[in-house]
A and B are shown apart, each in its own frame.
Chain A
Amino acid sequence: MSTPFFQFDIGLDLFPMLAATLAAVGCGLLGNFLVLRKLSLMGDAISHSVLPGLVIAFLIASTRSPLVMFLGAAIAGVTTVLLVELVKKYARVEPGAAMGVVFSALFALGVLLIERAAVRHIDLDADCVLHGQLETLVWYGAPQKLSELIQFSNLSEVPRQIYVLLSMVVAAFIFVGVFFKELRIAAFDPALSTTQGFNATLLHYLLMIFVSAATVASFEAVGSILVIAMLICPAATARLMTDRLHTQIAMSVVVSIICGIGGYVAATAVPAVFGKDAVNAAGSMSVVAGLILAIAIIGAPKHGLITRIIRRKKLALRIAIDDVLATLYRAEESGQNVTIRSLKQMLIGRSVDSAIAASVRKKMLLQDQSQLSLTQSGRDTASAIVRKHRLWEYYLVENAGFAPDHVHDTAEQLEHLKTQPPAGPSTDPHGKSIP
């Protein structure tokens, strides 16, 4: 097939793509502080409950000017946070339940208000609240060449939504930049923040006002589903990838941009593979955001599932090697011969084969057919392990009040720790010598 699945068309794609990406970046940036405060659901709550605020503002002022919409949303956002606090306090329910109750009630109120408004032939639509109206941003009669695009005269062609979104993103960056230190301390330790004179509650409300503003700015273009996805996914993804807040924020912005552009392209390109028409771009972006988060959950370098599994396997192998060597050492002490078979019987549940292979590779173990013997370095390692085991047994009996016949299993676990047991005598509670 020679036709590409996605062909960028300035008129069709420039403004929708820009709008979606700006919305993603603004929400993604602010989402960091929601994720850090474990308040992601608050983004969900606010993005739903600004709806009645918008409708009421519209009904009062009879205009959809950005300032009026912003005021309506900000008031609704703060009201949401206040109501959540009240429900939490007086209904004595968990925060999640309080948010759930508040935002579903407010959203329903918003939908009711829209229905009433629709009866009066006012242009508000509940459907576009969910999916947005990216298609309205199409630029008819756009120039086809990049050189013709970059001209001052074209500025007037830029739709209002882009300007609104751009102001929102710039404001969000300034807010996070200026109050970075304060947002960090209020998120990490609200009590200390407040006692130092940085009122954590005030900062919280300030953040919520910005989240409300970002929500309402993004609403019209991309709808609430994308807003919710962007408030959570980029920040959560970045959180998994790094342990530094600066890096996390930078990464969340990059992820947001990838979601915006990637999701927009995917909305056209992926259905085209199956010979279908393009899907809703906002929905597609949310899917991309979810996929990126899923990839991070699985593959993140330090906190990902794969790393954790590898870490666990490595630990299991280390323990198995310790056990194999220690068992051989004890057998040497009592003058027994150990075969692979008897070793496997003694160490049920350990991966004995790989432990033997690894120990042979590390030249700690000699394997002659099925006979096993320690090399000198293997013997040294093993004696250190047995020493730890027996010192722990001594410690448990002497200091922790264990009975001598109950300490083996605990010592068996403690011997694998890097922590050294306190020094002790030369024999363990069972009369065996401590190497």
Chain B
Amino acid sequence: MPVHPTIQESSQGLATRPEHSANSPLSIHAMTVAYHRKPVLWDVDYDAPPNKLIAIVGPNGAGKSTLIKSCLGLIPRASGQVEFWGLSYKQARSRVGYVPQRESVDWDFPVSALDVVCMGRYRMIGWCKPVSKKHKEAALSCLDQVGMREFANRQISQLSGGQQQRVFLARALAQEADLYFMDEPFAGVDAATERAIVQVLRKLKENNKTVIVVHHDLQTVPDYFDEVILLNMRVVAAGEVSDVFTSENLHKTYGGRLTLLAEAAEAVARASSGNT
């Protein structure tokens, strides 16, 4: 069995959708990314509709984090373009927020939860200026939104994994962006944090934001998200959950990993019953 299923028609969900790259918070065109000359992402095309919660799913090594990072210019692209509302990332930077994977930072670092959330406002504050009271208060209210205000002065190593994730989320809120990338915010969090994250996602959507989330739990995709990108090096399918989150597409994405497929089948069943 080949590791990556061969895909004839990529991104079938997009064919029916008209392109509005100036309206689309994120439009990726023919993007290829390689590590050590080995392609990790191949010819990715995607236009994100505005004001949606979008999941990126796919097996390990499918290039989910790479997709996010290359959009943000953290990993160089071998080819292709990425536009945000028709602008380059540099021009649109202040409107784009990012929540990296929790493990990507050192949680023993000597900063408090509030310090971390304030980092979300550094762009607004600008070079070489200290964090003013105004920005600290904004950061505090973001901590409040994720139920972490009372932990504002805690050193971050003294927070549980779920609380750390919520601090990261608060930091993203502090960025006051219009488009958010979140890299596995649900990984290894407790039930309370999962609820808090979902609440924040829905609130962001209410406020006309777009959120793109790398997600592992196929079961919750139909509950939490409007759109889904099925990724395995290429975009297998992308579009509304009810259209593209089918067992056929999942099969194409995950190959023969049966345990996952059983889970997915259940989720698909729920998704279709939810849409009738």
Contact = CB atoms under 8 A, between A and B. Distances in A.
A and B held together in a complex = yes
A34 to B, nearest CB: 14
A188 B93 CA distance: 20
B98 A192 contact: yes
B130 interface: yes
Contacts of B129: 181
Contacts of B72: 191, 195
B122 interface: yes
B125 A187 contact: no
A184 interface: yes
B93 A194 contact: no
B104 A36 contact: no
A247 to B, nearest CB: 8
A195 B182 CA distance: 13
B106 A38 contact: yes
B51 interface: no
Interface in B99-117: 100, 104-106, 109-112, 115-116
Given A182-B128, A188-B106, 13 more contacts: A179-B128, A192-B119, A192-B171, A194-B73, A195-B73, A195-B98, A196-B93, A196-B119, A198-B122, A239-B110, A243-B110, A244-B155, A248-B110
A38 B110 CA distance: 13
**Main secondary structure on A side of the interface with B:** helix
A128 interface: no
A423 interface: no
| Chain B residues touching A, range | 20 to 34
Contacts of B96: 195
7 contacts: A182-B122, A184-B119, A188-B111, A189-B105, A195-B96, A239-B110, A243-B155
A188 B69 CA distance: 17
Interface string B151-164: 00001010000000
Contacts of A192: 98, 100, 119-120, 171
Contacts of B111: 184, 188, 245
Given A179-B128, A195-B98, A189 B119 contact: yes
Given A36-B109, A197-B93, A243-B157, A182 B116 contact: no
A178 B128 contact: yes
A36 B128 CA distance: 20
Nearest to B125: A181
Q: In the A-B complex, list the 5 residue pairs whose CB atoms are closest, starting with the nearest.
A: A243-B155, A196-B123, A245-B110, A189-B105, A195-B98
A185 interface: yes
Nearest to A187: B109
Interface in B52-98: 69, 72-74, 93, 96, 98
A185 B119 CA distance: 7
B157 A188 contact: no
A52 to B, nearest CB: 30
Nearest to B109: A188
Contacts of A244: 110, 112, 155
Interface in A29-78: 36, 38
Interface of A: 36, 38, 178-182, 184-185, 187-189, 191-198, 239, 242-245, 248
**Residue with the greatest number of chain B CB neighbours at <10 A, chosen from A180, A189, A192, A244:** A192
B131 interface: yes
Interface in B159-206: 171, 175
A381 to B, nearest CB: 26
Nearest to A178: B128
A316 B194 CA distance: 33
Contacts of B155: 243-244
Contact of B122 (A36, A181, A248): A181
A300 to B, nearest CB: 13
Contacts of B73: 194-195
B128 A195 contact: no
B93 A195 contact: yes
Interface in B128-162: 128-131, 155, 157
B222 to A, nearest CB: 24
A192 B119 CA distance: 8
B110 A181 contact: no
B123 A197 contact: yes
Contacts of B105: 188-189
A189 B128 contact: no
Given A188-B116, A188-B119, A243-B157, A194 B109 contact: no
A188 B119 CA distance: 10
A328 B122 CA distance: 58
Contacts of A188: 105-106, 109, 111, 116, 119
A71 B233 CA distance: 46
A198 B121 CA distance: 12
B100 to A, nearest CB: 5
B127 A189 contact: no
**Residue with the greatest number of chain B CB neighbours at <10 A, chosen from A182, A189, A198:** A189
B262 to A, nearest CB: 17
Contacts of A182: 122, 127-128
Contact of A194 (B74, B106, B157): B74
B109 A181 contact: no
A182 B72 CA distance: 19
A204 B238 CA distance: 39
